[in-house]
Structure 1
Amino acid sequence: MSLRGFSTINFWADDVSAAAAWYQEFLGFEAYFQRPGPDGNLAYAEFRIGDYQNELGIIDSRFRPPAAAEPGGAVMHWHVDDLEATVDRLISMGATEYQPITAHGEAGFITASVIDPFGNVLGVMNNPHYLDVLASFKQK
C-alpha cells in the first residue's frame, strides 16, 4: 500500500460561510459541495481545484482536532503560474505573510505561504516538477 496522490486538504474556520466566500472570491468559482451542521449553519464547503480537481474542504472549527488550534506543522503547497501575483492578491484580500517568497536552489522551486483570514496556512509555489508531470499526462 502506498500514497497515491493528494486528495483533500481541510482548513478550519469559525465562520464557514465567510471562509467559503473568501475562497470563492480568490478562486473565482463557488464551492461545488456544501453541508449544514446540526444548527443549520454551513459546517462544510468543498472546492475542486486545478488540473487534477484536488479538493479544498473548509470545516467548522467546532470539529477541529484539539492539536490543530494553531497554524503550523506541514504546509501543503499549491502550484501557481505567477507566484508573486498570487501572493500579492492573497495579501490584498486580508491574508498575512507566513513564509516569504523563497527560492530553493537552482532547480526553479520557489515557495511562499500565507495565513488566511481564518487562521489556516495556505502554501503556494512554482514547481517545475508539477508542470513536467502534467505535460507527461497530456502527451499520453
Structure 2
Amino acid sequence: MLRGLTTVSFFADDVIAAQGWYTELLGVEPYFVRPTEGTPAYVEFRIGDYQHELGIVDSRYAPHGRSDRAGGAVIYWYVDDVQAALDRLVSLGARVHEKPTERGPGFVTASAVDPFGNIVGVMYNEHYLEILGSRAGA
C-alpha cells in the first residue's frame, strides 16, 4: 500500500522567510515555486539520496488550520551525524524538540522545531544505509 515518501509538506505564515531558511539549511534553492511572480504560496525542494520533496506551503492552505504548538507526525530525515545535524538546525534558529535518543543499536533520533513551527526530525538509521547500499549495486 505505502510505497515510499513523496512529499513532506511544512506550513509557514511567511513562505519567503521559510524559503530562505530552508535554502540555508539544505544548501539548495527550491526547484519549484508557485506562483512564479509575487509572493509564493508554495515552494518545493528536492533533497537527499532519493530526491524526496519538501514543500513549504502558505499557512492559509493548512487543511485544519494551524496550532500555535508544534505537534503531529514527526518525519525523520536520514543524517550521518544526528548531533551535528541538530546543532546545525539550532544554529539557524530552530529550537530543540527532542535531544538525541538511541532507539536501539544503529538507530538514533532527534528533532527540532523550525522558526515556523514545524518539527524537523533527523535520524541515523542503519536500515536506510542498507537499502541505499543495495540500490547502489542494482
Q: TM-score range by the shorter chain?
A: over 0.9
Q: Equivalents in 2 of 1:117, 1:68: separation in Å?
A: 14
Partner of 2:40: 42
SS at 1:42 equivalent:
coil
Q: How does 1:1-140 map to 2 (within 5 A)?
A: 2-36=1-35, 40-66=38-64, 68-69=66-67, 70-105=69-104, 107-140=105-138
Q: How many residues align?
A: 137
Please report how far the alpha carbon of residue 40 of structure 1 lies from its aligned counterpart in structure 2 after TM superposition: 3.5
Once the two structures are TM-superposed, the CA of residue 82 in structure 1 deviates from its matched residue by 1.5
How much is the aligned-residue C-alpha RMSD, in angstroms?
Answer: 1.5
- Please identify, of 64-73 and 94-103, the stretch whose mean Cα deviation from structure 2 is larger: 64-73
What's the TM-score, normalizing by structure 1?
Answer: 0.93
Q: Secondary structure at the match of 1:131?
A: helix
What is the DSSP-based 3-state SS (H/G/I as helix, E as strand, rest coil) of the residue aligned with 1:90?
helix
The CA distance in 2 between the partners of 1:35 and 1:63, in whole Å, is 13
Please give the alpha-carbon distance, in whole angstroms, between the structure 1 residues aligned to 2:42 and 2:65: 20
CA distances 1:53-73 after superposition (whole Å, capped 9, x unpaired) = 000000000111225424212
Unaligned runs of 5+ in 2: none
The amino acid of 2:70's aligned partner reads P
TM-score (norm 2): 0.94
State, as a whole percentage, how many aligned pairs show the same letter.
55
Residue segments in structure 1 that go unaligned for 5+ positions in a row: none
Q: Contact (CA 8 Å) 2:59, 2:66: kept in 1 or not?
A: no
